[in-house]
Structure 1
Amino acid sequence: MEFFAQLEEVIHTSDITQRFALFENLYNSLDSLEFNHAHTIRPITTPIYAPLCTIAHPTKISRPKTINTNSSMGAFLHSIAHIEYSAIDLALDATYRFRNLPREFYLNWLEVAKEEIEHFSTLRGLLQRSGYEYGDFVVHSNLFEAMKATPIFADRMALVHRGMEAGGLDANPFVYQKVFSSTHPLRDEILGALEIILRDEITHVSKGDKWWRYSEDPRSFKDILALYDYTLPKVLNVEARLKCGFSLEELEELQRG
């Protein structure tokens, strides 16, 4: 059995249950798989969630100010679940697309995919308990477009895994506070899920940091972000970013613009 061929099947399967089963089989069979780095690369060209979700521009998607009702909490949970589902694709595509790297690279991003699947499954369960299913709300394809735009290894690690995913660390405290202020009966379970996501996302961004540095690209991290017109959030989660490999000096420079 060949690793990239098996992974390709996972990537191109749109049914969520089947996809996760294929991934679990791949993950549990790693020791017996051969790595043929010459295997033809056939990445997805449209979002794998397109058959399930209506896709719109982010500015066309309304976000509830409070999340006390099932409908508002459903919309909120759906937006977070969609980010996690998109992150599965990011991890799988990195594992599949970039070849002739140390075995540790492939193990790292399979671990990330596994944890993103766990995050999504937890959020999807909470979403279902609110009376909704993944696909019931409009989504955007920002992360998928960033993935398509970065077939170059250093750019992918910088923009997506060290840049955009770190933006999730910055947003987490605000998202947490929004849930904390809610009177919804699932509040405490959702807060627990957000704590797990923050913990795991720190390790994910750390992997992005590690492999971006491995690339030894002569451009600066800041220059790569500028190349893709990526704007950092106004407020950075300094504590979390320091745990991921950012230095205080770099964060100060990034905040200066």
Structure 2
Amino acid sequence: MITLSQAACAVLNAADPAEKCRLTRDYAADWREGRIAEVGDTLPPDRPARPERPLLLPPKEMPRRSYGGDRGRIGLIHALAHIELNAIDLGWDIVARFAHETLPRDFASDWVQVALDEVEHFEMLERLLASLGAGYGDLPAHDGLWQAAEKTADDILARLVVVPMTLEARGCDTTPATMEKLARNGDNLTPPALDIIYHDEIRHVAAGVRWFTHVAKKRGLDPKTAYQERMRERYPAGLKPPFNHQARAEAAFPRDWYEEMARA
């Protein structure tokens, strides 16, 4: 019988997106139903396997995205699909990379569920691309999300701060305006998909805040101070307002933690 960290590595080493999604579903069910019983201690690879396409570029080298019409929608949906594919790996990576933290079983369960949510998001966006005559891999994508993972591989608190508590929280800030803009432009297919992602992201941010607080207190740290210190160290550009305070409140993200880190 394999451990959950071995299962995580199998997902991370699967280059084909469809296989990555299938394995996530299978292993999530095995964990939930007790066929996988132990987290284990198998370390994940430094980088997950990736398909030959899309071409991965540094963020600064990405071509300017077109806006408006089907071409603009394809560009947006493709970029989001790429984020969701990375997010599947991030969910599994945090389970295996920080298994040595000896956290409660619920920690692993939360991030397995996050990975499963990201599978649903990725496949939903793939279907939208197909409806527009496109597919994942048709456009270049940037590697910024996994670079953030690499920079936080040494500290679970830093990973929680940068990924769910900053990058996913930023999605909660910006998604409602994106949905409104798309709807105004006559798009009645993309906003419902983004609404599903938006509400799942609130739960993901909540998991980040909850486990960050747990680990900080376990280490004898003040959670707010620990959060702000790691923001300064790992995200020196600072946060960009405006914030979706309602969504962040639903995620139990204290307003004074993040608002003090906003750019002047």
Whether TM exceeds 0.5 here: the answer is yes
Contact 2:13 2:48 in 1 (8 A): no
Match of 1:132 in 2: 134
Match of 2:262 in 1: 255
Report the Cα offset of residue 180 of structure 1. 1.7
Report the Cα offset of residue 23 of structure 1. 1.6
Match of 1:226 in 2: 232
Instruction: Give identity over the alignment, percent.
Output: 28
Report the Cα offset of residue 7 of structure 1. 2.2
Summarize the Cα distance change of 1:11–1:256 in structure 2 as closer, same or farther, 3 Å threshold. Answer: closer
Report the RMSD for the aligned CA atoms in angstroms: 1.9
For the residues of structure 2 that align with 1:24 and 1:172, how far apart are their CA atoms?
26
Match of 1:89 in 2: 89
Contact 1:78 1:127 in 2 (8 A): yes
Render the CA deviation track for 1:9-56: whole Å, top value 9, x for unaligned. 11110111222222222111121213153x33132x335335221111
Q: Pick from 160, 172, 177 the counterpart of residue 174 of structure 1.
A: 177
- Provide the aligned length of Structure 1 versus Structure 2: 251
Gaps of 5+ in 2: none
Aligned residue runs from structure 1 range 59-138, under 5 A: 59-64=60-65, 66-68=67-69, 70-99=70-99, 100-138=102-140
The TM-score normalised by the length of structure 1 is 0.90
The TM-score normalised by the length of structure 2 is 0.88
For the residues of structure 2 that align with 1:50 and 1:106, how far apart are their CA atoms?
26
Report the Cα offset of residue 64 of structure 1. 4.0
Q: Counterpart amino acid of 1:136? A: D
Contact 2:162 2:231 in 1 (8 A): yes
For the residues of structure 2 that align with 1:106 and 1:79, how far apart are their CA atoms?
28
Report the Cα offset of residue 58 of structure 1. 2.0
Summarize the Cα distance change of 1:204–1:94 in structure 2 as closer, same or farther, 3 Å threshold. Answer: same
Report the Cα offset of residue 214 of structure 1. 0.9
Report the Cα offset of residue 251 of structure 1. 4.2
For the residues of structure 2 that align with 1:67 and 1:256, how far apart are their CA atoms?
30
Query: What SS class does the counterpart of residue 29 from structure 1 fall into?
Result: helix
Query: What SS class does the counterpart of residue 239 from structure 2 fall into?
Result: coil
Render the CA deviation track for 1:167-225: whole Å, top value 9, x for unaligned. 11112123213312323xxx212110111111110000000000110111534312211
2:213 matched to 1:213?
yes
For the residues of structure 1 that align with 2:164 and 2:255, how far apart are their CA atoms?
19
Match of 2:42 in 1: 40
Report the Cα offset of residue 83 of structure 1. 1.3
Query: What SS class does the counterpart of residue 141 from structure 2 fall into?
Result: coil
